[in-house]
Amino acid sequence: MTILSNQRTPWRFLVDPPLSPELNMAIDEAISIAFSEGKVPPTLRLYRWSVPSLSIGSFQKLESDWLGFLKTKSIPLVRRMTGGRALLHDQELTYSVVSSTRDPFFSEGIKGTFYTIANGLIAGLRQLGVDAEIHSPARGERTNRPHPSLCFASTSWYEITAGGKKLIGSAQRRWVSHFLQHGSLILEKSKIENSLLSGNQIALAELLPGLPPTERLEEAFRSGFEAALPISLKSGSLTEEELARAGLLTKEKYGNDAWNFHRETVV
């Protein structure tokens, strides 16, 4: 079915340069708050990381053997507000989506939202000539988790695979009226020697003759989301209020060891 222009919901499209791990997470939360207050439209954001960083899920326990690795390699840690497991962010393109749980395309719980967004991701990958799939475990299938603490060690419902391995991993936080989902497309496997890489992980560079320029990647996912969803993406920027809130969240939460190591918020 062809979607007419007047049937499309306007969304904001943000593209950020590489930023610190604490600022990246703070911006995602600032967008979700602004959206919940009715101050910004639904938003698709694409971003990168200025330094290799380890993120862990909101309720995840930091494993003791990771501490030496983080210290030795001078890798910062950030705790996400979403669930999921640990991921080393290095050579990747990260996306985040903030929208309403009352939108019919996102109203069927976590799995339904994962599936809708997965269609946008798949359409973007196809723009690049990548043959990828939306993972849907067969009934009764047990997910293989050789290291359950790592994001890419296993593939969950409606994540993206290629060649039988995980290409994009995602995590979500859902409230009554809105949600935040973000995820990582691995562009190239990290050159940092570490135990946080999984044999279940595949990088975009392994699927193409060469990595497309950053601008081509961004445009592919913009076009993919517009092809898969009845939305119209308009390039925009963060509001002054979002920027101020992100700065505060960086200082009091995502840049603070109390949150990152112990999940304690600063009053």
- Report pLDDT for 150: 75
Q: For the domain covering 5-262, report its CATH number.
A: 3.30.930.10
- Report pLDDT for 1: 42
* List 117, 150, 151, 204, catalytic entry: 151
151 carries an active-site annotation:
yes
The whole-number mean pLDDT for each consecutive block of 10 residues of the chain, a chain of 267 residues, reads 68 98 98 98 98 95 86 94 93 97 92 95 97 76 57 75 93 96 94 74 94 96 98 98 98 96 81
- Report pLDDT for 65: 82
**Residue 100, Cβ density class (10 Å: 0-12 exposed, 13-18 middle, ≥19 buried):** middle
DSSP labels for 3-26? PPGGGPEEEEEEE---B-HHHHHH
